[in-house]
Amino acid sequence: MRSMENHGFGNGKATLDNGYGMFLSMLEYKLSDRNKYLVKVDKWFPSSQICHRCGKIHHEMKNLQIRTMKCDCELTSSRDQNAAINILNGGLRILTKSA
Ligand SMILES: [Zn+2]
């Protein structure tokens, strides 16, 4: 929550009130109702810094101004798309570990 506040996702304050926690509870309930899972990925998981293709760490991506990841493995990906794929893969790893 604190990190979302600091990284300027919307209003910041909204992520600290009960609304977000309640949203997660309801989401979890609704998903389990449909035999689906809510998997929470560690908020410190450096999803924007890992090349989703080869796994190389790109420390320069800590700079939020850099919107495109260009990697030695010839991957060129938008920052957010690369992060989304890493989060998906991270979630799948958690899910298959606990299954
Ligand atoms: Zn790469």
Helices (H), 1-99: 2-6, 18-33, 79-98
Confidence of residue 39 (pLDDT cuts 50, 70, 90): very high
Write the secondary structure of 64-84 as one string of H (helix), E (strand) and C (coil). CCCCEEECCCCCEEEHHHHHH
In this structure, the answer to whether residues 47 and 3 fall within a common structural domain is no
CA 66–ligand 1 middle distance (angstroms): 16
**Domain count of the fold of the chain:** 2
| Predicted local distance difference test score (pLDDT) of residue 20 | 86
What residues sit around ligand 1, an ion, with C-beta below 5 angstroms? 51, 53-54, 56, 71, 73, 75
CA 57–ligand 1 middle distance (angstroms): 8
In this structure, the answer to whether residues 28 and 62 fall within a common structural domain is no
In this structure, the answer to whether residues 51 and 95 fall within a common structural domain is yes
The stretch 73-95 carries a mean pLDDT of 96
CA 90–ligand 1 middle distance (angstroms): 17
Share of the chain above pLDDT 70, in %: 81
| Predicted local distance difference test score (pLDDT) of residue 16 | 60
**Residue 57 domain boundaries:** 39-99
Mean pLDDT (the chain, rounded)? 87
Confidence of residue 4 (pLDDT cuts 50, 70, 90): low
In this structure, the answer to whether residues 6 and 53 fall within a common structural domain is no
